[in-house]
Structure 1
Amino acid sequence: KEVRESIEEFTTKDGRKIYLLADGRLVNLSAARGQGHPAEIMDMSFAVQALSAKYILENDLPVGVTKAPDEIDYTVASMKLDAMGIEIDSLTDKQKAYMANWQEGT
């Protein structure tokens, strides 16, 4: 059910609740309302930034813009789900297609 604009709530069979923000899109772009970002978003943003800074320090990168390894995003997402007590099986074909296409959701 929609609990607020850009927030959907799903209840698992065992009664736990999962909140989907902004249809899974970039929340800061698609659901920002001029009030700042909620802690549920900022903690992951800061974690990605910190792990990216660590990656920069530990690797000899060329001057310029470099994409951070996907593993950083996967690590942060895994840690967040773990902290929430949520386990996932595997991505659906639709989810894989979404992740592979930067134009999806923009």
Structure 2
Amino acid sequence: MIGAIIGGRIIGSDAEGFGALGLAIGGILVGYPTGIIVGLLLMKRLFHQKGSVWLGLLGGIIGTVVTIALSEPLKLNSNSYLLFGAFFVLVTGLSLGGFYLKK
């Protein structure tokens, strides 16, 4: 999110504002999975949970790619609530699934 805010300020002089919108969406696509991975890493370090952070990272990447790939065929992009809901569920679910896969 910080990257999206900084990038939006840099090209915020765009008359239509589409540059800032693209950077905000890019920030969500990168920032949310990164936050999930940081959370998994903290769970492993602080609470001594057994799991694989690398498989959690792989699950987060797969969740992001699957959401982007299926947004057009499943018409997820026609409703932004549905698109972001699917994104948050898939990324979180696949990250946690990958983390707890190796116990």
Per the TM superposition, whether the score is higher than 0.5 is no
Report the TM-score, using the length of structure 1 for normalisation: 0.31
Report the TM-score, using the length of structure 2 for normalisation: 0.32
Higher relative contact order (CA 8 A, sep 6+): 2
Would you tell me which structure has more helix in proportion to its own residues?
2
